[in-house]
Amino acid sequence: MCDPTPVRNWMIACAVAVFAAAAIVIGAAIANGSWWYTYLSPIGMLVAAAATGGAMVFCSQALSALDTYCTCIGKRCDGACNNLRAALRAAMTVLGIQATACLTVAAYAWIPGAANPAQWVIIGSLIVEAALIISAIAFYNALVACGSASTPPPKPPAPPGMPPIGAAPR
């Protein structure tokens, strides 16, 4: 029996890591808006970059689990497998861009208020990214439905000299 659960679990881990990164950037933005705690903002942005990188790793693990599951269920669900695979690869690409943005903003986040516009854009982008990962659950559900659909059993062969089962008599 093929088990799709690891794919779902890695996708959930990826979404949680993205939400965590967004929360960390919110804290870094609040720190950057302060005169007294601005020194914490670059640290927060570096931690957010690490959390975003972690989300990329989780998406990579989901892809690996997806490949295993798709191999197990065979060719009948190639379309559903390809849809989810494309969504996860796109998510990884965007997460890589977000991690780079976090690292870039960390370079100047020590200046009070200078990083706030970029930080709020990163926060919005990360929340949209989490929504996109969660929406990939629709592809996951289609894949599971396809993978669990029973295929009709093959007809038993007819004994020698007998017509096949279901054939019209002669």
The label of the residue with tokens 């690490």 reads 50
Q: What span, in angstroms and rounded, lies between the C-alpha atoms of 115 and 46? A: 13
Alpha-helical regions (H) of 74-115:
78-108
Categorize the per-residue pLDDT at 148 as very low, low, confident or very high, splitting at 50, 70 and 90.
confident
Q: What is the pTM of this model?
A: 0.81
Closest C-alpha to 96, from 134, 58, 56, 133 = 56
DSSP 8-state symbol, 151: P
Maximal CA-CA distance, the chain: 95
CA-angle at 158, arms to 152 and 160, nearest 5°: 160
Q: What span, in angstroms and rounded, lies between the C-alpha atoms of 58 and 98? A: 15
The stretch 46-72 carries a mean pLDDT of 96
Confidence (pLDDT) at 154: 54
97-147 pLDDT, tens per residue? 999 999 999 999 999 999 999 999 999 999 999 888 888 988 999 999 998
Q: What span, in angstroms and rounded, lies between the C-alpha atoms of 18 and 15? A: 5
Q: Which residues contact 123 (CB under 8 A, 6 or more apart)?
A: 22, 25, 26, 29
| Residue 114 in tokens | 């200078």
The stretch 31-35 carries a mean pLDDT of 92
